[in-house]
C-alpha cells in the first residue's frame, strides 16, 4: 500500500524550517517519510533504525537528529523520538471529527506565536514579526556519505610566465657574476632559437647565464704562442 503524508505551505514562513541548510532540510523530509512508514503516529525508530532507513552512517544520523531536536522539529521523550506536531498535522482523514479541534488549536498556537513575536520585537526595537524574519545563513555542512567521498580536485599551480630580458639586464647580471660572457651574443643566440633551451621554452634566463659560465669554465684555454726571445731564452736555459 502506498503511504502519503501532508506537507503544508506554511513551512515557507516557519523559521525553524527555513533556517535549515539544504542537507538538514532533506534530512527532515526523510524523517517525515520514515515516521510514516515506521509507526504512522510520528514515532521514529532508534538511531540505528533511522540510519538504516536513510542509508547514512550512524554518526551522520545522530548529528542531524540532534539538530532536529534543537530546532524543535523532533521531540525526545524517554528514549523515543517523535516528529513534533505529528498528531495535529498528519491525521488520517479530513473527515476526522477532531479536525475542527485541531484547527482551533493550530489557530491558537499561531496567535500565541504572533503575540510572543510582538513582545520580543518591542523589546528589541524591531518592526517585523517572527514569521517575517529573514532566515540566517547557516554554513553548509558536508554530508558524511557512506563510503569514501569524492576527492576534491587539487588546483593546478600557477606557472610564472617567462619575461625576455633586455640587453642591459643581461649585461648587469654578467657584471654582477663577474663572468666573461658577451651579453649581446647571449641575446642574439636565444633570439635566433625562439628563447628555447633545447626543445623546451626558457623559464629562467639567469639560470641560462650561469650555464654559459660553466661551459666557458670547462673550455681549455689555448696555449699562448711564444716569442722568438722566449724561444731563444729557453734554448739557452735563461729566463726572461
In this prediction, residue 189 has a pLDDT band, given cuts at 50, 70 and 90, of very high
With H, G, I as helix, E, B as strand and everything else as coil, classify residue 93: coil
To 10 degrees, what angle do helices 183-192 and 167-177 make?
Answer: 130
Q: Where in the chain is the domain with CATH 1.10.10.10?
A: 9-132
Cα separation, 24 vs 186, whole angstroms: 66
Pick left, alpha or beta for residue 28 (phi over 0 → left; psi -120 to 50 → alpha; otherwise beta): alpha
Q: What is the pTM of this model?
A: 0.37
Cα separation, 233 vs 226, whole angstroms: 11
Look at 183 and 8; give whichever has higher pLDDT: 183
* pLDDT tens column, 24-33: 899 989 988 9
* pLDDT tens column, 217-232: 766 455 455 565 664 5
Q: Average pLDDT of the chain?
A: 77
CB-count burial class (<10 Å; 0-12, 13-18, 19+) for 227: exposed
What is the structure's pLDDT at 146? 54
**Is residue 150's pLDDT more than 70?**
no
With H, G, I as helix, E, B as strand and everything else as coil, classify residue 52: helix
Q: Which three cell numbers stand for residue 154?
A: 587539487
| Helical segments of 125-182, H only | 167-177
Among 16-20, 61-65, 133-137, 158-162, the range scoring the smallest mean pLDDT is 133-137
Is CATH 1.10.10.10 the classification given to domain 9-132?
yes
Other C-beta atoms closer than 10 Å to the C-beta of 135 total: 13
Look at 136 and 72; give whichever has higher pLDDT: 72
Q: Which residues are registered as beta bridge partners of 83? A: 74
What is the structure's pLDDT at 120? 63
Cα separation, 169 vs 31, whole angstroms: 71
Amino acid at each position: 500500500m502506498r503511504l502519503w503524508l501532508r506537507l503544508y505551505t506554511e513551512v515557507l514562513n516557519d523559521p525553524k524550517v527555513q533556517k535549515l541548510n539544504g542537507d538538514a532540510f532533506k534530512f527532515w523530509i526523510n524523517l517525515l517519510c520514515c515516521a510514516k512508514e515506521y509507526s504512522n503516529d510520528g514515532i521514529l525508530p532508534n538511531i540505528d533504525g533511522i540510519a538504516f532507513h536513510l542509508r547514512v552512517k550512524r554518526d551522520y544520523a545522530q548529528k542531524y537528529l540532534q539538530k532536529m531536536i534543537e530546532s524543535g522539529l523532533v521531540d525526545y521523550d524517554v528514549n523515543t523520538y517523535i516528529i513534533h506536531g505529528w498528531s495535529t498535522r498528519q491525521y488520517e482523514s479530513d473527515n476526522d471529527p477532531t479536525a475542527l479541534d485541531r484547527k482551533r488549536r493550530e489557530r491558537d498556537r499561531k496567535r500565541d506565536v504572533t503575540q510572543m513575536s510582538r513582545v520580543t520585537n518591542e523589546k528589541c526595537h524591531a518592526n517585523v514579526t517572527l514569521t517575517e524574519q529573514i532566515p540566517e545563513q547557516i554554513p553548509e555542512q558536508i554530508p558524511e556519505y557512506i563510503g569514501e567521498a569524492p576527492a576534491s580536485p587539487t588546483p593546478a599551480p600557477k606557472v610564472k610566465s617567462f619575461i625576455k630580458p633586455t640587453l642591459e639586464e643581461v649585461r648587469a647580471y654578467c657584471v654582477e657574476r663577474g663572468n666573461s660572457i658577451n651579453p649581446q651574443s647571449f641575446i642574439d643566440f636565444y633570439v635566433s632559437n625562439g628563447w628555447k633551451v633545447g626543445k623546451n621554452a626558457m623559464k629562467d634566463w639567469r639560470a641560462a647565464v650561469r650555464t654559459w659560465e660553466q661551459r666557458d669554465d670547462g673550455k681549455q684555454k689555448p696555449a699562448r704562442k711564444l716569442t722568438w726571445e722566449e724561444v731563444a731564452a729557453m734554448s739557452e736555459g735563461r729566463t726572461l
